[in-house]
Structure 1
Amino acid sequence: MHKLSIVDARRIAVRAQLLATDRPTSLVDLVRHLTLLQIDPTAAVAPTADLVAWSRLGPAYAPADLVAALGKRSLVELWATIRPAEDVGLYRAEMVAGRDRPPVAEWQKRHRAWVEANDACRRDILARLAAEGPLPSRAIPDTCAVPWTSTGWTNDKNVIRLLDIMSVRGEVAVAGRQGRDRLWDLAERVWPDEPPVPIDEAARRRDQRRLRALGIARAKTTKVPIEPYDVGAAGEPAVVEGVKGTWRVDPAHLDGRPFTGRTALLSPFDRLIHDRRRLQEIFGFEYGLEMYKPAGQRRWGYYALPILHGDRLVGKLDATADRRAGVLRVGAVHQDEPFTREVTAAVDGEIASLASWLGLEVSGRYPTVPPRS
């Protein structure tokens, strides 16, 4: 049982996420280590996959690098994430098993019934992709017998919804993008021609890789979509001073190396801050996405970027990229703790670096909001 101070825990998490002084130099190696870049359509500053890469790689990173890696298929798009191509084998056995596994939850039953009712359309899609793929969804005729109903944006978007479900089943995959449109093809033509890893072994390896990327995590915690927060039996047990319960820690991060931190602006979807419970327990940092709140109810801004300084999260940056005007509009820098001159200078430098990377100018002076008393 490893006994860690709260500072130890923070530094393990920061170093594991490649946010210490030594920057990685390769985009593909970066994604291999992090295991994923999340895809999200919101790009008030920049797409989150690009922001996460920039936070680690620095000004040397260009979004074209990600496009190129996806084009070469060293990286692939899988379920709203970008992952190393070789990791797809860790999911394929589960995909195939899920096709025949009896549904349990009500939503699973509804999905299964809808897919079965539209099996002719599903087979039409597979045949068309085999003959003409890759194709955007709008190029695929809608022959669904039963429409998809939803209170959200997918209502009556039958082909898009069916493609998404077929991708979970491992039948189709995103082969690339044409602007914002996903290009679909048969999964077997997109993914590496390697045998799937058996389900239990794949789950064990995914947990190990996730812990290596997080450094420290709970064995079990709240279930979330896209990527779990917990890591099962991976790593070794640890306790953190002042925090209840047992953690799992990757022993590779317990090598005794001195920690040297830096200042970084993080995506709202960055994995360092994604698990809000861990964020509060280890960093004592309160954060939430406010883009869905009315403007008058926002504390930090529509798309506030958490600010990392060394091993502490010290504030949030309220910023928006106004590309038409050619400026990065900074609404405010919100302090979670009083900034020293050193921290202020470092944060100002990162804001200037972000604007330069985006090809924008910072929009003049910006206010600093002190911590709440």
Structure 2
Amino acid sequence: MSIKQTDLSKKLRQITLEAQGLIQEQAFGSGKAAVLSALEQLGYIQIDTLSVVTRAHHHTLWTRIPDYQPQWLDQLVTERHIFEYWFHAASYLPMQDFRFALPKMLSIKNGESRYYQADTQVMRNVYDKIRIDGPQKSRAFESLSKNNGSWWNWKPTKIALEQLFMQGDLMISARSGMEKVYDIRERVLPNTVNTTPPTALEYAEYLVRKYLRAYGFTTMKQMTHLQTGSVLRKNIETILNQMLEDNIIQKLVTPEMQIIYVLTDLFEKTDATHHPKLSLLSPFDNSIIHRERVKTCFDFDFRLECYTPQHKRKYGYFCLPILFGDVFIGRVDCKAHRKSGQFELIHLHVENRQIDMALWLTPFLNTLHRFVHFNQCQSIHVTQISPSELSDTIREFIEMRQMI
């Protein structure tokens, strides 16, 4: 099936934003139950240690759940509804998906994927200490390395700890802030969880359904991102063909001859009228983590520049994309100065001038104020706005709002 580019782009934007929970105000409901619902829909939430503003995993959930509280994520870990592992990066995943992490765990344990080269005896010592003494933070092993001699040398111990985690012998049972608490798998994993490794076909089906559920549409390139092997691709094609036959998905061809697969119920759904929602997105938000998809679908070129040398940055160290309705109107480089209680807009970049600023400025300020408070700040300081001709208007509006 082919469709005009403008119509298709608009439709795909609506489909993916609805699947991502970025159209309705409470797409996943409220409270702690909404956190689990969002995680099961999105498939994963990336964990990041950067704290320029509130960390990515909390930010991503706050964007979708208006009453979100960070402790809910920790509680879901301790209640064994979610677990930590590696997706394309360190992530929280629904416990129901545990068995689909087993192929990676087993490949590391069998030496097929050599992420680490831990000493076997050190691994036994680390595992036995946790098995006998109970859950441990990594700092416990750092202390041992200082007091107990060569068996507990910190660097080999840290490598062993990470390998035991990556191969599934240890799991994260809790966190203290960002510090992990490790325990043996048998004490963390609920006994109701299926631990049968998926077949190659089951794993392919998991990937297909995961991407379709999270984004509404997908491509072969996206589903095989960081995945290798012709067998996987063949199995994905088998699953797609069956879903096409069952009318679960539609196969579309863009004017650029790109093949995409879209959920039939979302594609045929009549677009509901929603008041445009404004979102300040984390750079690690699920909706924008695939940069090529964002460029193709939204015509928005986004790169996180915190890893780019300062003199090469175009927009700033830690920019948050600003989504209004289904259009990215710009981005803002910002920083939460928590000790002083000030939230700094280092540089607000307004890039889309086709949308009347009167439409998005009030929603932007409303969302910004909520985010400022979520970051435990009380006031806003504006350093720079581009283009400069908008600076006075936006500054005055922000200052006026702060006086209310």
- TM-score, scaled relative to structure 2: 0.79
Match of 1:41 in 2: 49
Match of 2:120 in 1: 119
Distance 1:300 1:238 in 2: 37
Distance 2:267 2:326 in 1: 16
Distance 2:190 2:288 in 1: 32
Letter in 1 for 2:373: S
Could you say if the C-alpha distance between residues 192 and 124 of structure 1 is closer, same or farther in structure 2, counting changes exceeding 3 Å?
Answer: same
Letter in 2 for 1:43: S
Q: Deviations over 1:69-104 (max 9, x none)?
A: 22222222223111112211222255235423645x
* SS at structure 2 position matched to 1:333: strand
Distance 1:82 1:2 in 2: 37
Match of 1:83 in 2: 93
Q: Are the aligned partners of 2:344 and 2:382 in contact in 1 as well (CA < 8 Å)?
A: no
Give the Å deviation of 1:246. 0.4
| Aligned equivalent of 1:268, options 283, 288, 301 | 283
Letter in 2 for 1:282: C
Unpaired stretches in structure 2, ≥5 consecutive residues: 228-232, 244-248, 389-404
* SS at structure 2 position matched to 1:324: coil
Give the Å deviation of 1:213. 0.4
Task: Compute the RMSD of aligned alpha carbons.
Answer: 2.8
- TM-score, scaled relative to structure 1: 0.85
Aligned length: 350
Match of 2:322 in 1: 307
More helix by share: 2
Distance 1:271 1:2 in 2: 27
Match of 1:16 in 2: 19
Give the Å deviation of 1:144. 7.6
* SS at structure 2 position matched to 1:195: coil
> Does 2:195 match 1:196?
yes
Counterparts of 1:192-271 in structure 2, within 5 Å, are 192-193=190-191, 194-197=193-196, 198-200=198-200, 201-221=202-222, 223-224=225-226, 232-233=236-237, 234=240, 236-239=249-252, 241-259=254-272, 260=274, 261-271=276-286
Counterparts of 1:53-68 in structure 2, within 5 Å, are 53-58=61-66, 60-68=67-75
Unpaired stretches in structure 1, ≥5 consecutive residues: 148-155
Distance 2:124 2:304 in 1: 40
Match of 2:402 in 1: none
Distance 1:18 1:356 in 2: 22
Q: Are the aligned partners of 2:171 and 2:183 in contact in 1 as well (CA < 8 Å)?
A: yes
Could you say if the C-alpha distance between residues 92 and 327 of structure 1 is closer, same or farther in structure 2, counting changes exceeding 3 Å?
Answer: same
Could you say if the C-alpha distance between residues 203 and 165 of structure 1 is closer, same or farther in structure 2, counting changes exceeding 3 Å?
Answer: farther
* SS at structure 1 position matched to 2:180: strand
Match of 1:130 in 2: 131
Distance 1:301 1:98 in 2: 37
| Aligned equivalent of 1:181, options 174, 179, 182 | 179
Q: Are the aligned partners of 1:6 and 1:242 in contact in 2 as well (CA < 8 Å)?
A: no
Q: Are the aligned partners of 2:25 and 2:64 in contact in 1 as well (CA < 8 Å)?
A: no
Distance 1:369 1:191 in 2: 50
Give the Å deviation of 1:365. 4.6
* SS at structure 1 position matched to 2:316: coil
* SS at structure 1 position matched to 2:65: helix
Distance 2:261 2:267 in 1: 12
Distance 1:303 1:145 in 2: 41
Distance 2:329 2:236 in 1: 30
Give the Å deviation of 1:224. 4.0
Q: Are the aligned partners of 1:265 and 1:307 in contact in 2 as well (CA < 8 Å)?
A: yes
* SS at structure 2 position matched to 1:274: coil
Match of 2:386 in 1: 369
* SS at structure 2 position matched to 1:363: strand
Could you say if the C-alpha distance between residues 211 and 2 of structure 1 is closer, same or farther in structure 2, counting changes exceeding 3 Å?
Answer: farther
Give the Å deviation of 1:182. 0.7
Distance 2:379 2:253 in 1: 40
Distance 1:240 1:44 in 2: 41
Q: Are the aligned partners of 1:216 and 1:249 in contact in 2 as well (CA < 8 Å)?
A: yes
Give the Å deviation of 1:164. 1.8
* SS at structure 2 position matched to 1:316: strand
Structure whose CA Rg is larger? 2
Percent identity, please: 23
Match of 2:372 in 1: 355
Give the Å deviation of 1:159. 2.2
Could you say if the C-alpha distance between residues 189 and 146 of structure 1 is closer, same or farther in structure 2, counting changes exceeding 3 Å?
Answer: closer
Q: Are the aligned partners of 2:25 and 2:277 in contact in 1 as well (CA < 8 Å)?
A: no
Match of 1:286 in 2: 301
Bigger mean CA deviation after superposition, 362-371 or 288-297 = 362-371
Match of 1:157 in 2: 155
Match of 2:401 in 1: none
Letter in 2 for 1:19: L
Q: Are the aligned partners of 1:9 and 1:282 in contact in 2 as well (CA < 8 Å)?
A: yes
* SS at structure 2 position matched to 1:129: helix
